[in-house]
Structures are given as structure tokens and as C-alpha cells.
A and B are shown apart, each in its own frame.
Chain A
Amino acid sequence: MTFSDETLMAYADGELDGPSRAAVEAAMAADPEVARRIAQHRALRSRLHTAFDPVLAEPLPERLLAAARGTVLQSSPGKVTALRRAPARWSWPQWGALAASLLLGALLGPWLVRAPGRAALITDDGAVLAAGTLARALSEQLASNQPADAAVQIGVSFRSRGGDYCRTFVLREKSVLAGLACREHGAWRLETLAASESAAAAGGEYRAAATALPPAVAGTLEELIAGEPLDANAEAAARERGWKY
């Protein structure tokens, strides 16, 4: 009698009972090949245990004990949409819901106060709009085809739940600014911004910054996105239409 590998696997996992179990045991006694395959299934289980059981003996992290006891103080535990990830070398002060007042902040100041025509951000009736190089890149640059050393790197382009086109970007000059802007009424309105405290980003770090979205931006992306990001063709088509739909 021959057995499928699934049957032998089920036997090794203790999932067979009564007659099927007895039949496999008889085959094991008679056929070394059957015995070998079952031993192999058992050996894999034991290798997995050897690899992962040490986790059981690790001291429990305080934050998990607190979470299990329900004593963790989270601002909104239900709204966590992505894993919290500690930035390696970057520290990103972040702002959602932009207010004009923060434009006076020391961090954003340098992006606003520039020679006329060179500011990356401007305010308009309480909203923050992209300007200059940033606005140009948002309107014209394709993520699928952009120079690696461009001052603005476009990340994800997508349609928001409200139907607007939105794009994430990283802007690097003396410091690094990451954000998400949506096309509304012919302008790129900033939905969220995160600034790196690191003043001069080295080439390698710049790359990391450009490709890893700061949590604030990733969070806003998750919140706004309807469906999937645009692929290269859809991105090019949206640009052709002037980011209108």
C-alpha cells in the first residue's frame, strides 16, 4: 500500500486516527522508505522548534507587558495602520493637518524665506502650497523616470478617496523635507510634511531618506489612498491630463 505525502505528513503530525494510523504504522514497519519520509517530517518540526523556541525564554519587553495589561497609553490605538518603526538615523518631527502658524517654525522657515520665486512652499489662505522647484517636480516629474540626484524625488502617486491626484515626495536641499501633496484647484496642496533634523544629508543617507517614507507621510498615504498606487503608465497618463480627472 502506498501513501501520499500528505497522509504521511498527517501521521507525523498526529492527525490520523484509528485504521489510517494503524495502516501507516504497518507500512512504516515494512518499508524503510515510508519510515524515512515520516522521520523527515518529524525532523523538520524539531528543527523549527530549535530555531524558534529560544524566543519563549527571552525576557518579555515592558511595552508588551503593558499592552497585555491594557495599561499602555496610546493616543489612538485603533488608528494604527502601519507598524511603528524606529527611524535608524533620521528623526522626523512631523505635522499632519498643516496650519499656517507652523510656517513660522524654525524648521520650515528656510523653505519659505527665499529669494522671490525660489521658495518651495507658499501659504494661501491657511493652506500650504508647493511652489518653485517642488511644484514643478510634482507636476512634471515621473517617479518611473527621474534622475537619482534630482533635488525632488517623487515617491508614490495615487488617487485619493476624494478623487484628487496625490503624490509623495522628498525634497532635499540643506535639510530634508518629506511630504504628501494633492492636486486641488490647479495647485499642489500639502497634506502632511515631515522634516529631518539632520542638516546635511550625505549621499547614502539621502537615498535612504528618499526611499523610506517617514511615518507621518506613510500614515497620511494610508489614510488618503483609494485603491492602489498608480503604476508607471497611469502616472504618465495622469500627467498628460494635467493631474485632472
Chain B
Amino acid sequence: MSGPDLHAQLVALLPRLRRFARALARNAHDADDLVQLALERALEHAGQARADAPLGGWMFGIVRNAWIDELRARGRRARVFAPAESAEHVGDASQSGYAEVLSVQEALGRLPEEQRSAVALVLIEGLSYKEAAHIMQVPIGTLTSRLARGREALQKMLGES
């Protein structure tokens, strides 16, 4: 894919990349950092973008990988800096007890990464199971069960069960 073409397509994809990143990382600034990192990685490896495959799928995969890298880095830091991590959550809905009402964003943020990605790709980005499974590099059956578990958990948290 030629340079200017790729750049134009990336610009066109930006709104969706931002929406996807926002579903993964709740914080808007973190989400935009993810998108920026993904764009940088994509342009570095532009040769790997296949002209015959949708650029969107490739980019969603890069955004998700950047997010997984970030979660691992946070995990390493959190193991030692646990008090700071929990301090961040002071005042979170988790403290409001039994009658807790979560926003959709909060509920999604509580899902394990695998379920969150599946929900974001299929239910928010509107990808087919096949496309989502390809991006997450898992068989369709795995994608389907992550999606089902994610959905069920969301419905419980949002009071729709």
C-alpha cells in the first residue's frame, strides 16, 4: 500500500480506533496514547499491511496488542506498587455497596481483558465473529465463549439479567 494512501486511510479510521481504544482503556488520555502508539507501530511496519485485507482489522489488532503490553507493564508495577493502584480507585463504585449502579463504561472496565476485547470488537465495532477471532488470534469457538461470558457479566452488572 502506498504511503499517502495509507495515511489517508489511517486518518479515516481514527474515530473508530479512538472508540475501540476508549472501550479498552477507560481513561480518554490513556486511550489516545494507545492509538498514537498503534499508529506509530503501524507506520513502522507499513509493509505488513496487506492491500487486499481490511486495514481496520489490522489496526484494531495493533491497538489491542499495545493495550496488552501496557497491561503487562502495569501489572509488573502494580505488584510492588499495589497501594497506589488501590488509592486510584478510592471513591470507585465498588465502595457503594449492594445497590451499586455501574455505568456501561465502568462495567466494561471490570471485564477481564479477553472478554472486554471480544465485546468491544463485536458489539461496539460491529465486526463479525470471524474478524474478531482473527484479530484476537483465537479460534471462533473461543471468541464466542469469551463474548458470551462478557455479555453475561455485563448484563449482571448493568442489572439486565
Residues from chain A with Cβ under 8 Å of B7 in the complex: 68-70
| Cα of A90 to Cα of B16 in the assembled complex, Å | 33
The reply to whether the CB of B35 lies closer than 8 angstroms to some CB of chain A is yes
The answer to whether residues A64 and B18 also contact, given A48-B104, A211-B84 and a CB cut-off of 8 A, is: yes
Interface SS of chain B: helix
| Cα of A169 to Cα of B142 in the assembled complex, Å | 42
Residues from chain B with Cβ under 8 Å of A143 in the complex: 80
The reply to whether the CB of A228 lies closer than 8 angstroms to some CB of chain B is yes
The answer to whether residues A55 and B18 also contact, given A13-B129, A40-B155 and a CB cut-off of 8 A, is: yes
**Pick the contact of A86 from B19, B29, B128 — CB < 8 Å?**
B29
Residues from chain B with Cβ under 8 Å of A78 in the complex: 40-41, 44
Count how many chain B residues have C-beta atoms less than 8 Å from C-beta atoms of the other chain: 56
The answer to whether residues A225 and B40 also contact, given A82-B70, A83-B30 and a CB cut-off of 8 A, is: no
| Cα of A61 to Cα of B34 in the assembled complex, Å | 13
**Pick the contact of A56 from B19, B103, B160 — CB < 8 Å?**
B19
Cβ of A7 to closest chain B Cβ, rounded Å: 10
> Could you say which of B33, B80, B152 has the most chain A C-beta atoms within 10 Å of its C-beta?
B80
Residues from chain A with Cβ under 8 Å of B69 in the complex: 81
Question: Which residues of B approach A to under 8 Å, CB–CB?
Answer: 3, 7, 10-11, 13-16, 18-19, 22-23, 29-30, 32-37, 39-41, 43-44, 69-70, 73, 76-77, 79-81, 83-84, 87, 103-105, 108, 119, 122-124, 128-129, 144-145, 147-148, 151-152, 154-155, 158, 160
Question: Which residues of A approach B to under 8 Å, CB–CB?
Answer: 5-6, 9-10, 13, 15, 40-41, 43-45, 47-53, 55-58, 60-61, 63-65, 67-70, 72, 74, 77-78, 80-86, 143, 155-157, 207-208, 211-213, 218, 221-222, 225, 228-229, 231
